[in-house]
Amino acid sequence: MTDRALAVVRAGALTTVQDLGRTGYAHLGVPRSGALDPAALRLVNRLVGNPETAAVLETTVDGCALRPRCAVSAAVGGAPCPVRVDGRPAAWGTTLRLAAGSVLEVGAAVRGLRSYVAWAGGIDVEPVLGSRSTDLLSGLGPAPLADEAVLPLGPDTGTPARGPVDAPPWPGPPDELVLRIRLGPRDDWFTPTALRTLATRAYRVSPASNRIGLRLEGPALDRALPGEPASEGMVLGAVQVPPDGRPVVFLADHPTTGGYPVVGVVREADLGAVAQAAPGTPVRFTPVR
């Protein structure tokens, strides 16, 4: 007997359930969360006939392996990676039809960091505040995948995409991240030299980066004022500068308040590329109005 569910054969280093996130709760201290690469999430959902809001799996670096308990369509996108079904090579970036009991193996990312795996019907875990996303900071949503866990699937009501035209475009991970930044609200906490440094010098992605923030290595930003400002609200893309002077770009699981000054805010449209930027990737900030 089969049912609409997935069994986790190999969870991988960090595989989480993600959708487009939970918005409208920052005043309660709840971050947005959601896929770090929302364009990749939308594309794999389209490939299996899901609405773009359906929950998928976001893998980190080394993929995962799953066994559906029912016949189901699936698609793997985001960071390119080897894909196998029952040990045989399968296509990345297109619709796969899996038999009940088969094993879908999502391999390690060849380029980039995060792959996305959509299933027809979506991952049907219980929503929390309107989203099924795992939030690593607050602990809301389902726990990261563990071996032998079972995930329910929703009803398959869509029509999978067909044909080569439906293969998701993949620009590849960036050789250099260029992040457009609007200065403020606390850029007056930094010296003119520091602001020139931010706009002209290169940084690199730190291995300490995660879903909470993109941590950067590079020149420190000198303060013009002593101490720290009062804690205030933080938004997606805020560039907070802790006492060591190295900027941190807040990502999906960021805290909703913080006490270090925010020198600027990165445009949300630029943050998808951050999801695929490996440690060591050069980063430059471009101030915009």
Instruction: Write out the chain's pLDDT in tens, 289 residues.
Output: 459 999 999 999 999 999 999 999 999 999 999 999 999 999 999 999 999 999 999 999 999 999 999 999 999 999 999 999 999 999 999 999 999 999 999 999 999 999 999 999 999 999 999 999 999 999 999 999 999 999 999 999 888 776 544 555 666 778 899 999 999 999 999 999 999 999 999 999 999 999 999 999 999 999 999 999 999 999 999 999 999 999 999 999 999 999 999 999 999 999 999 999 999 999 999 999 8
Instruction: Say if residue 185 is preceded by a cis peptide, omega within 30 of 0.
Output: yes
Superfamily of chain region 177-287: Cyclophilin-like (2.40.100.10)
Could you tell me the pTM of the whole model? 0.94
Largest CA distance in the chain: 68
Per-residue tokens: 61? 């670096």
Q: 242: exposed, middle or buried (C-beta count within 10 Å: 0-12, 13-18, 19+)?
A: middle
What is the pairing mode between strands 213-217 and 257-258? unpaired
Q: What is the reported pLDDT for 101?
A: 98
CA–CA distance, 185 with 61 (Å, rounded to integer): 35
The gap from C-alpha 79 to its chain's centroid, in whole angstroms, comes to 11
CATH 2.40.100.10 residue ranges for the chain? 177-287
Q: What is the reported pLDDT for 171?
A: 66
Q: Which residues contact 121 (CB under 8 A, 6 or more apart)?
A: 4, 50, 54, 72, 153, 154, 155, 156, 157
Q: Which residues contact 216 (CB under 8 A, 6 or more apart)?
A: 203, 204, 205, 206, 246, 247, 248, 249, 283
The residue behind tokens 């010098």 is 201
CA–CA distance, 219 with 246 (Å, rounded to integer): 7
Please say whether the beta carbons of 68 and 104 come within 8 A.
Answer: yes
Q: 246: exposed, middle or buried (C-beta count within 10 Å: 0-12, 13-18, 19+)?
A: middle
Q: What is the reported pLDDT for 160?
A: 79
- Annotate 111-141 with DSSP letters as a single string: SSS-EEEEETT-B-PPPBTTB----TTT--S
